[in-house]
Chain A
Amino acid sequence: ETGVTQSPTHLIKTRGQQVTLRCSSQSGHNTVSWYQQALGQGPQFIFQYYREEENGRGNFPPRFSGLQFPNYSSELNVNALELDDSALYLCASSLGPETSYEQYFGPGTRLTVT
């Protein structure tokens, strides 16, 4: 059974650029949640995707957007990057939104914005 994987591991972008982060969910999981973890803080919920639709969103601006594909993998897109977007971005998958308490996390993508 393959766990949650994320790519890339690290990347560096310049303020104003756009970035796409990718996540492959654990086998059999159809729900993906994204979190932002700033240095020294707990993760903050960005949004959740279920069956290719957004299924809940945290307090993040519209320049944070996502996609989920038929194979349940997901992308997080961030436009017009700001310095404060520097963080570890975590993806978590679950069997369904009702069981999203049992979330399995990937290792994260560390984004640095300069």
Chain B
Amino acid sequence: AQSVTQLDSQVPVFEEAPVELRCNYSSSVSVYLFWYVQYPNQGLQLLLKYLSGSTLVKGINGFEAEFNKSQTSFHLRKPSVHISDTAEYFCAVRQAAGNKLTFGGGTRVLVKP
């Protein structure tokens, strides 16, 4: 079985400052990794995914994430946040041979002017 831990439940950050959201996972087999964003009263939107290849993955809205197999991490970064980035962010993992997404508990990002 796999599991996901998001180390920060809430991250306050000033507008135009960088942000990093931490995600660690555990799995005994090869996995795919994802970051989703959820705006208030909405469903989940895929920001980016890692399936294979380059460990640095670029996504939408200026976000990127780096897969680190030795540290079993998949941290999300953005060099300069906007007010509109205020949302909840979820890291998720899926076994490469499976079909079930396992989500972390989420990190709420609050961007302050």
Please report A residues at the B interface, Cβ cutoff 8 Å.
Answer: 4, 33, 35, 40-45, 48, 55-56, 58, 90, 92, 97, 100-108
Shortest C-beta distance, B47 to chain A (Å), equals: 12
Knowing A56-B100, A58-B100, A101-B32, say if A41 contacts B45 (CB, 8 Å).
no
Across chains A and B, the number of contacting residue pairs, with CB separation under 8 Å, is: 60
Please report B residues at the A interface, Cβ cutoff 8 Å.
Answer: 4, 6, 32, 34, 36, 41-46, 49, 51, 90, 92, 94, 98-106
Shortest C-beta distance, A105 to chain B (Å), equals: 4
In contact, B100 and A4 (Cβ under 8 angstroms): no
Knowing A42-B90, A43-B90, say if A105 contacts B43 (CB, 8 Å).
yes
In contact, B44 and A105 (Cβ under 8 angstroms): yes
In contact, A43 and B44 (Cβ under 8 angstroms): yes
Q: Compute how far the CA of A46 lies from the CA of B91 in the bound complex, rounded to whole angstroms.
A: 18
Knowing A45-B102, A101-B94, say if A90 contacts B46 (CB, 8 Å).
no
Knowing A48-B100, A107-B43, say if A101 contacts B49 (CB, 8 Å).
yes
Chain B residues whose CB sits within 8 angstroms of the CB of A43 once the complex forms = 44, 90, 101, 103
Q: Compute how far the CA of A101 lies from the CA of B51 in the bound complex, rounded to whole angstroms.
A: 9
